[in-house]
Structure 1
Amino acid sequence: MLLKRTMSLSLLSLGGAALLTACKSSPPPPATVPTVPVATVGTATLANDLTLTAEFLPYQDVDVMAKVAGYVKTISVDIGDRVQQGQVLAVLEAPEIQSDVAHAKAGVAAAAANIVTAQAAVQRAQAAAGMAKLSYQRIQDVASKDKGLVPRQEIDVAQSRQMEAAAQLASAESSVQAAREAKAAADQEYVRAQTMMGYATIRAPFAGVITKRYAGTGSMIQAGIASQTQAMPVVKLAQNSLLRLILPVPVNDVADVKNGQTVDVNVSSLGRRLQGTVTRSTDSVQTATRTMDTEVDVPNRDGSLVPGMYAEVHLHLAARPNVLSVPIDAVDGLGTSVQQAYVVRDGIVHLVTVKTGLQTPNRLEILSGLAEGDRVIVGRHTGLADGERVDAQAAGYEGNAH
């Protein structure tokens, strides 16, 4: 038994030594080289187009109010009627204003009669003043030729009458001026009354379509003044020959939107593609949505477009022909001060700083840091380090440009 155990231990020792020798002589396994997708830096024509959806709105849409109160005598339009600027929409019955016109007209006639009366008084005063002056001159001449013949009292009385007549003439002339001013005031009052009477005829402020009718024949209409918010309009009028689209432009694209630029408008419900023009913007970004309201005007001369329809608006914000570009996921740190790309040269990763320009949904303009033909890693860059060896494989979308 002792011999057997000794032999067994010897065999185990030899086996362990042989195994240890084998482990020491085996080479280490090769390090795993990560495979990364790459794209080649090349030239492309980039365009930044922004597509937004908006609803057509009338260029103008107002409730037509009455300036004066009255009953609707006639109303000549209804929903859907197209009217021209200045066309009569309704006529109100306003007896009080008619009375004011008649009263003002009578006031003008009375003022004119007062002018005639005052002018006649001037003529009488002129005659009296002339006679008083002549009498005074005669007495004065006699007294000069034959001193002591005419008592001094008579000379003083004649002089006083002359002065009194001159004063009466001046008063009569002032009365004429006052009568003329009263006539001018009466004329103004008559014009005002006629103007108010004119407001009883309600006209279209612009050419458009009647979209709602509030009143009918016999309806009582209050004067539409600011202090009476409950006043009922007569009709609602919309200008549809030119329509508006209000676009919420994102803050990143605000700088590229200019007044006067042409946009494409796609109306899918009609299968039509139109052109519009950027006309104005709020010049202010809303803090809640980080967008700026921008208005696009679209002509609608044939009336085929109806307010409330939806349209897709394509804004052509910028274009860069034949510029260096890479896929957008090839650059880290977009929107920050440090933007980097991972370039693979001879199987080694090199981290480079780049400067970018125009950004489209899929590609990015490279202003500096990369050269045409460079291969850049796209997709996730987590775990990659400068100087690391990698196995570069072309990405499936390499070379796509939009």
Structure 2
Amino acid sequence: MSTGRRRLGWLLPTVLVVVLLAGGAGTVVLLREPQLLPGRTATVVPVVRADVVTEVRAPGSVRSGGEADVSFVVSGVVTTIPVAPGATVAPGEVLATLDDAPARARIAAAQTALAADTRDITAARSAVPVDLVAVGRFEAAAARDRAELAEANRQLEGTVLRAPRGGTVTAVAGQVGDRVDAGAPTPDDAPSRRPFVRLADLATLVVRAAVPPRDVPRVLPGQSASAVVDGVGDPVLGEVVGVEPAPGPDGAYGVSVASPLPPPTLRVGQAADVRVVVDRAVGVLVVPPAAVRRVSPDRATVLVPPPDGRGPNRVLTVTTGIADATSVEIRAGLREGDRVLVPRDTGSRP
């Protein structure tokens, strides 16, 4: 056998082994990445331009834009409540009163004691020689009685609960005959610390949303917002006018949304579904969320079919932006009109 035939004899098996190994490697890749295989499990969609809007959604209710909680600063028994929920009051108007007899008796006793102190001081100064020790003792007693008189007058003034501002009475927590403690509405309401009277400015209404801690960092005053309010109909459009710096008892942060043109059917207490627009991209390149596989917060991969429909699909890395329920913004890696694959079964895609 010639040298050329011997070389050809070992060369052909070697080439065959190399081809088989390459084919095996390709088979392994395709088995590990079955999405690279052309098939009927995906839909081809074009890259298009659209708007992407990211929202924070939270439950809420209609509240007064200005509220005042009013309670007695002294303890006593309620004698009158001249207002009821729904009443309109002016600043300084009487909301409720307590029995002032104890305070008046205290004032009378302090006045009597102070008058006696004055007489004692005068007598001590008129003595010859002047009894300086007695004068000092009587002046100290007079100082104590003046302080007592001032406190008694404060107690008497505190028996009258007045409106600190104009508004509408929305709640009254007590009734005539109840005994209230200073700062507490009624005995049965003491744990909740509800005010004795609550006033609201019903001319200025807002929708107050309860935003969870994970979302509140993205909510800022001035952001556009909308609210679907029970019984109102069309969504109420407005903007965020306030974000509470601390959470409430439920752990959520209060976010107030005001509308420049509130509907006339808006009422305090109506439930609402609030949406705050925290980010918006207009006219950007987008693909469906099911078309991307996230690898980092701003990077993902997409599957691109072959131009001629033959051969395996390509995995392409793209830079992503904001996303909503229907679109993911593509900032780099694709052009308008490019095609990507959207798997029909997305259960295994993160």
Normalised by the size of structure 1, how large is the TM-score? 0.61
2:232 equivalent to 1:270: yes
User: Secondary structure of 2:305's partner?
Assistant: strand
Q: Which residue of 2 aligns with 1:311?
A: 272
In the alignment, which residue of structure 2 is the partner of 1:34? 39
Q: How far is 1:283 from its partner?
A: 6.2
Larger radius of gyration between Structure 1 and Structure 2: 1
Segment drifting more, 92-101 vs 42-51: 42-51
Contact 1:66/1:234 (CA < 8 Å) preserved in 2?
Answer: no
In structure 2, the partner of 1:256 is 218
Equivalent-residue separation in structure 1 for 2:248 and 2:76 (angstroms): 43
Residue 265 of structure 1 aligns to which amino acid in structure 2? A
Aligned in 2, Cα 1:298/1:235: closer, same or farther, shift over 3 Å?
same
Once residues 41 and 117 of structure 1 are traced to their aligned partners in structure 2, the CA distance between those partners, rounded to angstroms, is 104
TM-aligned CA deviation for residue 93 of structure 1: 2.8
> Alpha-carbon deviations, 1:198-224, whole Å to 9, x = none?
12212235544334456555x253434
Give 1:336 shift: 6.9
In 2, the alpha carbon distance for the partners of 1:320 and 1:301 equals 28
CA RMSD of aligned residues (A): 4.0
1:186 aligns with 2:139: no
Task: Describe the SS at the equivalent of 2:343.
Answer: coil
Cα drift, residue 102 of structure 1? 0.1
Partner Cα separation in structure 2 for residue 267 and residue 381 of structure 1: 37
Q: 1:318 Cα deviation (Å)?
A: 0.5
2:287 paired with 1:326:
yes
The match for 2:339 is: 375
Residue of structure 2 equivalent to 1:97:
103
Q: How does 1:70-81 map to 2 (within 5 A)?
A: 70=77, 72=79, 74-81=80-87
Percent of aligned positions that are identical: 24
The residue aligned with 1:365 is: 329
**Residue aligned with 2:83, SS:** coil
Count of residues in correspondence between the two structures: 298
Q: Verify: 1:245 aligned to 2:208, yes or no.
A: yes
CA contact under 8 A between 2:232 and 2:263: conserved in structure 1?
A: no
Relative to 1, partners in 2 of residues 1:46 and 1:234: Cα closer, same or farther, differing over 3 Å?
closer
In the aligned structure 2, how far is the partner of 1:302 from the partner of 1:87? 30
Q: Which residue of 2 aligns with 1:293?
A: 253
Aligned mates of 1:283, 1:225 — CA distance in 2: 23
Show the counterpart of 1:68. Answer: 75
User: Is 1:279 aligned to residue 279 of structure 2?
Assistant: no
Q: 1:294 to 1:354 in 2, by over 3 A?
A: farther
Structure 2 residue runs without a partner (length 5+):
1-36
CA–CA separation in structure 2 for the residues paired with 1:245 and 1:44: 31
Give yes or no for the alignment of 1:113 onto 2:113.
Answer: no
CA displacement at 1:103 relative to structure 2: 0.4
Secondary structure of 2:318's counterpart equals strand
Are the counterparts in 1 of residues 89 and 167 from structure 2 also a CA contact under 8 Å? yes
Q: Structure 2 vs 1, CA of residues 56 and 108 (structure 1 numbering), >3 Å: closer, same or farther?
A: same
Following superposition, the deviation at residue 237 of structure 1 comes to: 2.0
Contact 1:57-1:245 within 8 A present in 2 as well:
yes
CA drift at 1:361: 1.4
Q: Are the aligned partners of 1:70 and 1:200 in contact in 2 as well (CA < 8 Å)?
A: no
Q: Could you tell me whether the CA contact under 8 Å between 1:211 and 1:238 is conserved in 2?
A: yes
Distance (Å, rounded) in 2 between the aligned partners of 1:270 and 1:337: 40
Change (3 A) 1:180 1:309: same
Please state how far the C-alpha of 1:101 moved relative to its aligned partner: 0.7
Cα deviation per residue 1:161-203 (whole Å; 9 max; x = unaligned)? xxxxxxxx6x62x544443333222211101011111122122
Which has the larger share of helix?
A: 1
How far 1:381 sits from its partner (Å)?
A: 7.2
